[in-house]
Structure 1
């Protein structure tokens, strides 16, 4: 059973795919060549699904950090006889100031690992167990001068190693001693069977790739990391995480690089998050703007509009999510041969929510367009027509029930958040009417906007709950109602809005003060079991409190949520309300987006208070 705590993992990225490395120096998750490709190392989900570990052979303690302004990981092992440093990265292809905006272009699809002895001597053990196709394949290992190859399925892995490897069938291992000043480099590269003959990389070449990668991250950070408000280091790091979750060839930003890390240990709420959600668009664009990533914001918006453009019409609702290359069919299946993290099955690939109706998506895309208004002046006629069609679709579909932002698998409902985002769609479309050359539609959009607003105010409020609630006629609280203040539907200090904020702070939080999405015991989501508190929702609470002028409370809520980042600043989706452990897919873009946006809200609230 795989049971390494989620918090013990670190993210590596080349802006095409990602790896997760444990505190013990084991690569337990790697999909290549894309985020959503089958895993080569999958021990994250099953002990037998493959790993690549490098660590001292004897007892040790370990500390780790990212090298300054990078996603290059350094793990330091302290043993009774010496100190060993392990440096890990997925290689980037560019360095130099002129390439600062091109992070992730020209990557060699190469994982690089360096070990150096920094004191005394250390006996080191290497274990290499590739398992392609989510652990289904046990590849054939063959020797190669300076390394070995692993062949299985339609691809080939080449491991470059400066030390001899003992191997049997599909596993390889080595032990070697390093003394102070010694340094060795290892590399793993994927190629298809149709490509040219495999090659190994020399020590000098691998060391060069590491230097290029460190430099590329630092140049990118220098050009992008200029937020100087409160918690600027957290905001800057979260910006790098979002960059690390970006699929550079298309501009897509994935929700997380993992699948099936559960929302409850032993539960069934295990989903594949290696895709890009329309739902995330407006939140993501705002966070990228705060984190000073305008090019990435424009790329993400272009990806979204391109992926979605052919999938909307009078009888065709907008699809809610896409593959990283813009793929539409994300059909879900289970992998019964994998036990799942801490026996939390089933393990799923694909995501069955791809063909749900969620009417909030129109507002999210138009809100994203509104944030990029200054970059839209030269948009082509097709994009203008698409954005106009989004607003028209919001008019038609705002009266329909849907599955909501949380993608319930129960009966569709008239969710308040979904209606709110239809209002946002129309509000932003009206603001963009000149750019969209759609001034003639403004009267109709304005009438529909007024109608949906009146319905939210009338049917979304519950006297019994003393708050705006999850769906029309419900008394259940839902953290997404905090967005009513964040998107500007109501002032945060308007009496009913403030009552909703306080109700969520008082009745939708655990004893740690972290916020649930909603109470799962209501049964509205059609799933068994429960889930943890949501870090994104807790950051929403901080943002709403800041907008209401409760700046000190907002800062307290922010710090409460941010404190759950692991030792290298990464956030998961949820926190176990009993143990305080991380739950859900990791690292979670939504959580880092929430952190950035909440920090900005507190910064702006402090500025207003000082005037």
Structure 2
């Protein structure tokens, strides 16, 4: 296990999500959706205190925590110094009902004494307006209402209301249940609702995991990453967020603090690809509905959008939150929406390609869907040799980035393949001609003969980790000596132990300090593709030890002690787990 301080578990249901720490304290939860006001924001240190939802055990001594196998239901056991123990089960309801999914804005907690006579208290302190205000409360005989802007939270419980309102300790002499959700009256008893909801939610996740096409090795890691990726899709629209949090710094006191609660087209394409490999194709279908609702005409695509298709994501600092471990600023919104990042065209087309080839799909891609993608190819053709901010979203410089150019090529290449598959010979020839011309130009400008490897930008001299993807994208063969030389150069210059820098040149905020986790997985994949499989397996095993106690990863990690940094949990990082395991695992025939 890593020494990461982001010892948090993720629970959710496709509508809302929460982070729960190792002592069962909810420290992050946005209401009423992933990008909403964080009613629980203790993770980012509200200056007025509060912003949490804890079950505190008197005379606490130790804790243990795990997910119930193959589910998103979290179990925490707290032990006191007198031999007492209490089990806390946390989940957000999700199951199929009346032909659709029941996934309310709701957190259910079940408390159960295991040994002794544990005394606990419930501390429920939501905040409003990004940690600035304490919401007004009202209460009745069995409920408390918290009046948040635009949403009223209602706690219904078989714990006496006064004990919760005043955070008074009480002896837990039997099971107790807390249902925090919309301002609606439960139609059954609280214990009855909570137990039934837990059973149905467990059944849903076990059934979902059961149909994943997992590899022989590292099954637990793959299933946990797959569930995490599933939890990061906002089911109402199909958008996939990059992470659940904002402003956890990429490195201590670096001010590299960004809001990741939005849908990056690039990140989402990687998520879709990983889940497709596992057979979870409904995520792709939902995401493509999201993408096709965005503008795909002459105005082009932004790098990211809001989960409800918002195009404007103004960036502001939040004064009421001091930041993760006091390391502000806390930012709301992300200025990257105004940037030019040309790889987005390839990202969308790559995500859509399986739609046309996968015979499992109920509604596979047709000519009409292909025609809707063609304007993206036109944009890719127009922009592949133009400067942009690149995959790493530089705020202070623009160049003709190799990765962006190659992704533009990928858009045209895949359109050619799709057109050929649909029998549209003239369109296939059109896109193939463009793709071939683009490839020739990119190779002429992205290969440096003197250095002996590909470079990050046309006529540039630097390396960056995105070049590890050139073979995976099909731009060059994995055994092309130019690609092999590039992998070796990146390993020599960017790798530190089992982790990778994304680049080492200074950027807008100085020199990078931490590894970018997905890059470490890209390196593993590239090693395997050039035949260095044993080395790739060793690197992968080492990286898996850097996950937190629940198998989750953030965006970045420190090179020396593996401490987790950056927003959490990071979809990119969990894509890396899935893809590396699928490539490196021994075949199922080896199990016999």
1:108 aligns with 2:104: yes
1:348 aligns with 2:331: yes
C-alpha displacement at 1:381, in angstroms? 5.8
Kindly tell me: are residues 557 and 579 of structure 1, through their superposed partners in 2, closer, same or farther at Cα, counting changes over 3 Å? closer
Match of 1:77, SS? strand
1:405 aligns with 2:391: yes
C-alpha displacement at 1:585, in angstroms? 0.6
Match of 2:168, SS? strand
Q: Is the 8 A contact 2:222 2:577 kept in 1?
A: yes
C-alpha displacement at 1:258, in angstroms? 0.7
Distance 2:14 2:148 in 1: 25
Distance 1:93 1:386 in 2: 33
1:72 aligns with 2:57: no
Counterparts of 1:132-531 in structure 2 under 5 Å?
132-166=128-162, 172-179=166-173, 182-191=174-183, 202-222=190-210, 224-307=211-294, 310-313=295-298, 316-375=299-358, 379=365, 383-434=369-420, 438-510=424-496, 512-519=497-504, 522-523=505-506, 525-528=507-510, 530-531=512-513
Q: Is the 8 A contact 2:347 2:407 kept in 1?
A: yes
Kindly tell me: are residues 230 and 56 of structure 1, through their superposed partners in 2, closer, same or farther at Cα, counting changes over 3 Å? same
Counterparts of 1:90-105 in structure 2 under 5 Å?
90-94=92-96, 105=101
Distance 1:492 1:394 in 2: 24
Q: Which residue of 2 aligns with 1:541?
A: 523
Q: Is the 8 A contact 2:216 2:585 kept in 1?
A: yes
Kindly tell me: are residues 263 and 200 of structure 1, through their superposed partners in 2, closer, same or farther at Cα, counting changes over 3 Å? farther
The C-alpha deviation readout for 1:114-160, integer Å capped at 9, x for no partner, is: 11111112111221111022112211222211131122433222112
Distance 2:297 2:134 in 1: 43
Q: Which residue of 2 aligns with 1:588?
A: 570
1:579 aligns with 2:573: no
Distance 1:33 1:491 in 2: 46
Q: Is the 8 A contact 1:158 1:199 kept in 2?
A: no
Distance 2:411 2:377 in 1: 6
The C-alpha deviation readout for 1:23-59, integer Å capped at 9, x for no partner, is: 1111111112211111111001014251010031112
Q: Is the 8 A contact 1:6 1:586 kept in 2?
A: no
Distance 2:30 2:438 in 1: 44
Q: Is the 8 A contact 1:260 1:272 kept in 2?
A: yes
Q: Is the 8 A contact 2:60 2:78 kept in 1?
A: no
Q: Which residue of 2 aligns with 1:83?
A: 85
Q: Is the 8 A contact 2:370 2:419 kept in 1?
A: no
Q: Is the 8 A contact 1:462 1:468 kept in 2?
A: yes
Match of 1:372, SS? helix
Q: Is the 8 A contact 1:267 1:345 kept in 2?
A: no
Q: Is the 8 A contact 1:334 1:348 kept in 2?
A: yes
Q: Which structure's relative contact order is higher, taking Cα pairs within 8 Å and 6+ residues apart?
A: 2
Distance 1:583 1:245 in 2: 19
Q: Is the 8 A contact 1:146 1:200 kept in 2?
A: no
Match of 1:485, SS? coil
Kindly tell me: are residues 153 and 362 of structure 1, through their superposed partners in 2, closer, same or farther at Cα, counting changes over 3 Å? closer
Which TM-score applies when normalising by structure 1?
A: 0.90
Unaligned runs of 5+ in 1: none
RMSD between superposed Cα atoms in Å: 2.5
Which TM-score applies when normalising by structure 2?
A: 0.93
Q: Which residue of 1 aligns with 2:26?
A: 27
Match of 1:114, SS? strand
Kindly tell me: are residues 5 and 340 of structure 1, through their superposed partners in 2, closer, same or farther at Cα, counting changes over 3 Å? farther
Kindly tell me: are residues 529 and 199 of structure 1, through their superposed partners in 2, closer, same or farther at Cα, counting changes over 3 Å? farther
Distance 2:242 2:489 in 1: 29
Unaligned runs of 5+ in 2: none
Distance 1:197 1:295 in 2: 33
